[in-house]
Amino acid sequence: MTTSHYIAGRWVEGQGSDCISVNDPALGQPFAELMTASVAQVDQAVAAARNALPVWKQVSANERAAYLRGFAEQLGQRREALISLQMRNNGKPRHEAEIDLDDAIATFAYYADLAEQLPERNREVALAAPGFTARTRLEPVGVVGLIVPWNFPLVTSAWKLAPALAAGCTVVLKPSEVTPLIEQAYGQIADTLGLPAGVLNIVNGKAETGAALSSHSGLDKLSFTGSNSVGSQVMRSASAQCRPVTLELGGKSAIVVFDDCDVDQAVEWIVAGITWNAGQMCSATSRLLVHDGIADALLPRLQQALETLRVGNPLTEEVDMGPLTSQAQWLKVASYFATAREEGLQCLAGGKALDRDGWFVSPTLYADVPVDSRLWNEEIFGPVLCARRFSTEAQAITEANDSRFGLVATVCSADLERAERVADALEVGHVWINSVQAVFVETSWGGTKGSGIGRELGPWGLSGYLSVKHVTRCLG
């Protein structure tokens, strides 16, 4: 694949000095290659977005909404191909890949509706002082760079691309080098819909390409989802330009289980929170806080549930969990298994890589993990669950909040008043009560502390791509 970059409405060959090898993680083998974009091509993409901005931001809200609905419809028409690619390149089971696609479709449809409401947000402002009128005008931020991760390609890009286009921004999108193929669908759809050239640009590459984009002086905003280490570099680049950023970073989230829960139901919520996408989620609830009164009944049941999960190749088997997406992530998770052995942690399930082709690890449970353990404190990004017991509600809240991250949490309790009270006390951006991690486009996504800056989804996601202008006029 040579024409892997979409710049100014044209597919062009990569002119970078490196080659991206795209792998099937269930086999541990490459199935495609593409050349990276050069720094000059990043410049061209930003210039194309800059040239397209004056016209695009004047396009009516209804017309922008029509394009967004076109993206939703075209994603649906490519359903089977995109699901298969998500399974092959990410290793996702079919049911997860289907949800990913439905999420992306819903996101474009939702922001189409919000785009149509934008004219209503240009309104008069009441003033206490006589002799003046004022109005608020919402304008697009401008040219935005979007850098997306490999764990939820197609989805994370939809969360950024749809509100940016709805606001009237033009875009340069950089997919992850681990999963660069599926975002090509957005360029193909732009061609099909006749989206004006330069409104959407896609450049593929590795760290050098991301650095060239994040430091580019031609951007007005940058939105990044990924690791904290790279996020801090993005923030430094933004500070040199005094440029606004949205950062969605890591997590080390807690799931708190009280002793009035149904054990089987609690096990279902716990397993989903740590094994969905093979645990490769910033929102993975990888710290289990379980009440003393239920721990002895729950932990053996949880051990059994993890040991009986079907792990395998989603393209050839009926599976509950697929492989890790990259060899690098497989090696990272394996290193934490070694650390657990060095720390003498009690392993109730898993704790090892699987002896088969591909990048598979076993769903893992460690019990009675001390608070100073690396596994309790560090984001592993794999199906590795650490459990601790608590005796009081106050202790559970304190230990759940004792983290440098603050993305999400889950509370499990039959006492809904207590569950709501605990949810209010947790220092995170999103809390689920008695539920799997159901994410709806109408709600916000983002965290506190080291989990990032800003919010995606909902009206907050659109606001991140809008600039507020006030116009005040003297009547005298």
Three-point CA angle 62, 172, 30, nearest 5°? 120
Angle between helices 393-401 and 416-425 (to 10 degrees): 30
Mark whether 248 is an active-site residue.
yes
Question: One of 261, 282, 386, 412 is an active-site residue; which one?
Answer: 282
3-state SS, residue 466:
strand
Query: Do residues 349 and 306 make contact, with C-beta atoms less than 8 angstroms apart?
Result: yes
What residue has token string 């995606």?
Answer: 456
Mark whether 342 is an active-site residue.
no
34 closest CA partner among 16, 21, 53: 21
Give every CB contact of residue 289 below 8 A, 6+ residues apart in sequence.
Answer: 254, 255, 256, 257, 387, 388, 389, 390, 396, 399, 400
Residue 416, Cβ density class (10 Å: 0-12 exposed, 13-18 middle, ≥19 buried):
exposed
Q: Cα(398)–Cα(464) distance, rounded to whole angstroms?
A: 32
Q: Cα(74)–Cα(7) distance, rounded to whole angstroms?
A: 20
* CA-CA-CA-CA dihedral for 4, 5, 8, 10, to nearest 10: -10
Give every CB contact of residue 193 below 8 A, 6+ residues apart in sequence.
Answer: 67, 70, 71, 74
Question: One of 96, 177, 183, 248 is an active-site residue; which one?
Answer: 248
Whole-angstrom CA distances from 126 to 122, 255, 472 are 13, 46, 11
DSSP state of 321: B
282 closest CA partner among 430, 89, 104, 157: 430
Query: Do residues 441 and 286 make contact, with C-beta atoms less than 8 angstroms apart?
Result: no
420, amino acid identity: E
Strand partners, 146: 173, 223
* CA-CA-CA-CA dihedral for 176, 179, 180, 185, to nearest 10: -120
**Helix, strand counts (H, E) of the chain:** 15, 22
First to last CA, the chain: 65
288 closest CA partner among 386, 362, 381, 363: 386
Query: Do residues 364 and 347 make contact, with C-beta atoms less than 8 angstroms apart?
Result: yes
**Greatest CA separation for the chain:** 82
Catalytic residue IDs: 248, 282
